[in-house]
Amino acid sequence: MMASFIREVLARARRTLASIRGVRGGSATIAALVVGSVSVLVVAASGVLWSVNAAADAGVERVGSLGDIDTRPPQTANGSVDILFAATDDPVDEKADDEKGESADEKALPDRRLSHLALVHLSRRHDSTVLIDLPSNSLVDVPPHRDFRGKDVGASKRPLAATYEDGGPALLVQSLETVTKIRIDGYVELSLPALTDVVAALDGIELCLPKTVEDKAAKLRMAPGEQTITAEQAAAYARTTAGGSLDRLRRTQLLFGAAAERLFGATAVLTPWQATQLLDEGAAALRVDDGFDRALARRVALALRDPYGDRTSIVSVPVDETKKTKDGTVTTWQSQLTTYLFEELGKDSRIDPSLFTPAPVPLRPGSVSVRVENGAGIEGFAGKATEELRGVGFRMKGAPSNADQESSTTTIYHDAAHEKHARTLQAAIPGAELAVTKTKSSTMRVVVGRSYSGVRQVNYVKNAEPGVSENDALSVTAAGPCGG
């Protein structure tokens, strides 16, 4: 029913435009595909199934075959699929470089820059989906390559955004495969400026914001609740970095989902002017790899119909630290948790998001000293917990040892003067309990019980409430806080 409606509306728009502007036959399909596939990138449900299934037939730009990339991980034998979605923006202003005598032609940079990334893992059983947010400033190992200027570049460490700038989607995919050991089966890229163009063509969109968004630098303040936003507001809302990378990913989801609903909803009326705008701007917004065919597109669309249901997990790659380099501010990944995450994906295992979603804590993990004792009666349990806590940044003291008695519960023993330290540690160990001791010590004593299931990544936030994830505040459902 919906597909028939969409086809009829777009067919009418295409016939009208063809008669007055000579629009090519495939452009309407592209325009529809752009908005619907943008919804796929950001995991919105509206219009996705029809539009993304048209990917193989639309005249969208192709970025080449992923099979041409050298030294790739082996194809998974379990039948799971991993798709890389990239959101891009306009290139940075090059006026300063031009004033120095370096022209844009000499720089030979791509016409887009990487904004943010998401890796989507589709299980072999078709019963679970994992969406992993990948910060574009993540520092990764980059293999030798030839950049856009035709210059041979040796192996180095660069942020993901720089790999896209130097070598386009192919180098981006190759670098990610090198660090994750995951073979990427498909690539979809969408342009954020297309958001502004689509929203402008629709004379704004209705949006329900789950919480206040404020960015003083961008002069942006938007209150929660239902509202109509302009193209300029939509662009600022999508681009602000307030709240972290997962917030940004979900903001983009809300925007493009609302645009798709506005376009594809039964109450949407496409005037010839609106259709013209969508056709003109939409055709250049989507790029996919050569292997992204109808079968793969259908599988992606079906998997992402219910992004906040029980079958979908949304996590951010575990981050270790943020530092400044010649490429600007970059983030490094937490080695142990990141390795575990991608190993589990490679085995097509179910992912527990709580292990990877950072919990805000009032102290830096490195300022908390910890000693672990085995209270589970299971050989190697204390050593395992010691390494996992060290992996998320805590300062481990002494060798693991056995507790005086066994316990099913994991308990953190601390003196009254170090409650903040204890609560910071508790946020990293799901299910752990606190116990105050009279013995004065700055070292937390952890007795791991049989219920111990691993650690959770934590993130220092000044005046944070321990144990409550910053992402819990942005819980977006299909209905949203406005109902409906």
Q: Which domains does the chain have, with CATH numbers?
A: 61-189+299-353 (3.30.420.590), 359-468 (3.30.70)
Measuring CA to CA, which residue among 368, 372, 404 is closest to residue 388? Answer: 372
| Lowest mean per-residue pLDDT among 23-32, 82-91, 312-321 | 23-32
Burial class of 385 by CB neighbour count within 10 A (0 to 12, 13 to 18, 19+): buried
* Structure confidence at residue 372 (pLDDT): 97
pLDDT digits (tens, 9 = 90+) for 29-50: 333 333 333 333 333 333 333 3
Q: Please tell me whether residue 207 adopts helix, strand or coil conformation.
A: strand
Structural tokens at position 430: 């799901």
Classify residue 181 as exposed, middle or buried by CB count within 10 Å of its CB (0-12, 13-18, 19+).
middle
Cα radius of gyration (the chain): 24
Kindly report the average pLDDT of the chain as a whole number: 74
DSSP state of 309: S
CB atoms within 10 A of CB 210: 19
What's the pLDDT score for residue 418? 96
Rounded CA gap, 319 and 458, in Å? 9
Residue 334, pLDDT > 60, answer yes
Query: Helix, strand or coil for residue 438?
Result: coil
- Give one DSSP letter per residue of 340-409, joined into a string: HHHHHHHTT----GGGTSPEEESS-GGG-EEEEEE-S--TTHHHHHHHHHHHTT-EE-S--EE-SS--SS
Predicted confidence band at 255 (pLDDT cuts at 50, 70, 90)?
A: confident
Of the candidates 3, 13, 1, 6, the one whose C-alpha atom is nearest the C-alpha of residue 273 is 13
The pLDDT score that the predictor gives to residue 52 is: 42
Distance (Å, whole) CA 141 – CA 176: 9
pLDDT at residue 450, rounded to an integer: 93
pLDDT bracket for residue 339 (50, 70, 90): confident
Quote the CA–CA distance of 308 and 441 in Å, as a whole number: 44
Range of weakest confidence among 245-259, 313-327, 440-454: 245-259
Residues 112-150 have pLDDT tens digits of 788 888 898 998 877 788 888 898 899 999 999 888 888
pLDDT at 264 over 70: no
- Measured distance CA(383)–CA(332) in Å, rounded: 25
Q: Side chain identity at 112, as an amino acid letter?
A: R
pLDDT digits (tens, 9 = 90+) for 283-303: 556 788 888 887 887 777 677
- Which position has the higher pLDDT, 308 or 106? 308
pLDDT at 172: 94
Please name which of 206, 205, 197, 207 lies closest in space to residue 274, comparing C-alpha atoms.
197
Q: Look at residue 363 and tell me whether its pLDDT is greater than 70.
A: yes
Measured between alpha carbons, how far is 264 from 100 in angstroms, rounded to an integer?
A: 48
Closest to 440 in 3D by CA, of 406, 415, 470:
415
**Rounded Cα distance, 169 and 182, in Å:** 16
Q: What is the rounded distance in angstroms from the CA atom of residue 224 to the CA atom of residue 212?
A: 5
pLDDT confidence tier of residue 174, bands split at 50, 70 and 90:
very high
Residue 25: φ, ψ to 5°: -60, -35
- Of 16-25, 89-98, 381-390, minimum mean pLDDT range: 16-25
The pLDDT of residue 295 is 81
Task: Note whether 474 and 211 are within 8 A (CB).
Answer: yes
Query: What backbone phi and psi angles, to 5 degrees, belong to 222?
Result: -130, 125
pTM for this prediction: 0.67
pLDDT at 60 over 90: no
Instruction: Give 386-444 pLDDT, tens digit per residue.
Output: 999 998 889 999 999 999 999 999 999 999 999 999 999 999 998 899 999 999 999 99
- The CA-atom distances, in angstroms, between 337 and each of 248, 286, 316, 454 are 22, 33, 11, 10
CA distance 28 to 30: 5
What pLDDT is attached to residue 445?
Answer: 97
